[in-house]
Amino acid sequence: MSPELRSPLAVVCHDAGACNVILPWLRRPDLSLRPVMDGPAAQLFRGRFGDAATTGRGTELDAALEGAAMLLSGTGWASDLEHRARQKARARGLFSAAVIDHWVNYPMRFERNGATVWPDEFWVTDTRAAELAEQCFPGAVVRSFDNLYLRAEAAAIPPLPRVPQEQAQVLYVLEPMRTDWGRGVPGEFQALDHFMRARVAAGMPAKAPIRLRPHPSEPAGKYDRWIAAHRRVANVALDDHATLASAIGASTWVVGCESFALVIALTAGRRVHTSLPPWAPACRLPQPGIVRLRAEEAIGA
């Protein structure tokens, strides 16, 4: 089931996650869009609607909301754009729905500089997300709709590639962890190092190609030094596929911390591991098929 969207629709996104979920819902030909996009979402929106689509921020936010029938926003952490849109919608008395695309950090998605702004409705895409939202936002309206993005991405991924075991590729999907777990090294690099120690015991051949796919929010060159340091012991490089679906399609294993890409890979029948190290909290993705690289696998490495 897809949501009933009111037209004209002000749609505001910054991060890629919610934007990916929202875009397939906007296919109605009768829907008049007032998009305000920034960050990774701007590129995603242009890819779907072309350069003619209006994108922007700042004063364009007020223009998008003026006369709109509703606001549909993402709930990313990397910007206050969506938060400001919800603030302005509330001040105008405009109906507001916000899409939560993951299973972590629900309350802080709606907090900026000490101000908490809830939408009129929280929209999610599965039962577990709905349960979490109801726990975090007691008394709020929580509605669940089909994740057309997940369905389309998984359908676009071919079956497991038939290649010799030592040539079976490992795709590592990166993401900024925003914590160092008290160890003074960014968590994403700690997880990468743990993966390198534990991968062989988990069944991945030592010589298997490893391809790192950075998160859309990460700067170019972030992992260059790490790759250079590990090329002596492994076939490791940046992934060069144009799309996530094609990258997963070329891979036998998909590894990461808590990226939504792990859910896509699992849905597409890949072997999926979370690389969160033993000293980090458990992976918060609810899918039981995502296997944690065990602490004992790294002993003696």
Note the pLDDT tens digit of each residue in 156-172: 999 988 888 888 999 99
CB distance 204 to 273 below 8 Å = no
Interatomic CA distance for residues 177 and 85, integer angstroms: 26
Same domain flag for 90 and 203: no
**CATH code for position 180:** 3.40.50
Closest CA to 270 of 185, 160, 161: 160
pTM of the model: 0.84
Per-residue pLDDT at 275: 98
Closest CA to 211 of 249, 258, 185: 249
CB distance 121 to 97 below 8 Å = yes
Percentage, residues of the chain above pLDDT 90: 83
CB distance 176 to 188 below 8 Å = yes
Same domain flag for 146 and 248: no
Same domain flag for 187 and 129: no
- 238 inside domain: yes
What is the per-residue pLDDT across 194-247, written as a single tens digit (0 to 9) for each? Answer: 999 999 999 999 999 999 999 988 999 999 999 999 999 999 999 999 999 999
Same domain flag for 166 and 49: no
Per-residue pLDDT at 157: 95
Question: Measured between alpha carbons, how far is residue 280 from residues 213, 256, 286 in Å?
Answer: 22, 13, 17
Same domain flag for 121 and 168: no
Which one-letter amino acid corresponds to residue 45? F
- 167 inside domain: yes
- Domain with 27, as residue range(s), is 9-153
Phi-psi map region of 189: left, alpha, beta (phi>0 left; psi -120 to 50 alpha)? alpha
- 290 inside domain: yes
Tokens linked to 205: 């051949």
DSSP assignments along 259-284, one per residue: -HHHHHHHHTT-EEEE---TTSPPP-
